[in-house]
Amino acid sequence: KEGNLISLLKAAVKKIELTAKNKDQHLNCLFNPEERIPVDMDKDRIEQVILNVISNAIKYTPEGGRIDIDALKRDKTAVITVTDNGIGIPESEKSRIFERFFRVDKARSRAMGGTGLGLAISKQIVEGHQGTIQLESREGRGTKVMITLPLSLKKGIRNIE
Ligand code: ATP
Ligand code: MG
């Protein structure tokens, strides 16, 4: 199953841009909308990952914040980055962020809603596609999530499907 990652990103942005707008945030799409990045993927699941990561950027960035979304082809992979200038993640919590139900600052995040499963599920989906998901963050400055997906899957490796 091959799909164009750029089309998928455009569709995902369309689905979530009103949520951003309601927080006076702009989803800044840096990728070339005309480009084709063909990726072997389960489109519904990769869309779920993209929506998870963008919704985190919206949720953990104050009103008026800026969220950059980029995607490019690098060697035999596609690289997606979502960068926000929000509250960031303290260094001491960073290693736990992909754990199920883990949320920084329980009291504050309870008010924001969510279960703490978004990144754990996203990681599982990305790894099921033989890709990686990485996060860089500075508390009070912002967060950058980088997802790398191979354009074509290696055979003989058990994927999530
Ligand atoms: P869910 O995604 O299940 O609705 P959630 O957003 O709390 O809930 P995750 O997406 O797994 O859960 O994220 C885990 C925790 O990582 C969040 O609670 C938040 O503390 C932190 N986090 C994730 N993304 C960001 C971000 N862009 N900026 C700051 N903190 C973040
Ligand atoms: Mg989330």
Instruction: Of 51-55, 98-102, 144-148, 153-157, give the lowest mean pLDDT range.
Output: 153-157
Ligand nearest to C-alpha 123: 1
Provide, rounded to the nearest whole percent, the portion of the chain with pLDDT above 70. 93
- pLDDT above 90: residue 11: yes
Token digits of residue 29: 């799409």
For the chain, the straight-line distance linking the first and the last C-alpha, in angstroms and rounded, comes to 12
Residues with CB under 6 A from ligand 1: 52, 56-57, 60, 84, 86-89, 97, 102-104, 109, 114-120, 143
- Which of the residue ranges 33-47, 75-89, 144-158 would you say has the lowest mean pLDDT? 144-158
Give the pLDDT confidence score for residue 102 in this predicted structure: 86
| ipTM beyond cut 0.95 | yes
Residues in the 5 Å CB sphere of ion ligand 2? 56, 118
Q: Per-residue pLDDT for 107 more than 80?
A: no
Ligand 1 centroid–CA 118 distance in Å is 7
Whether 160 and 122 have beta carbons less than 8 Å apart is answered as no
pTM: 0.95
The residue to which tokens 């990485």 are assigned: 134
Nearest CA to ligand 1 atom 18: 103
pLDDT at 72 over 80: yes
- Residue indicated by tokens 């949520």: 19
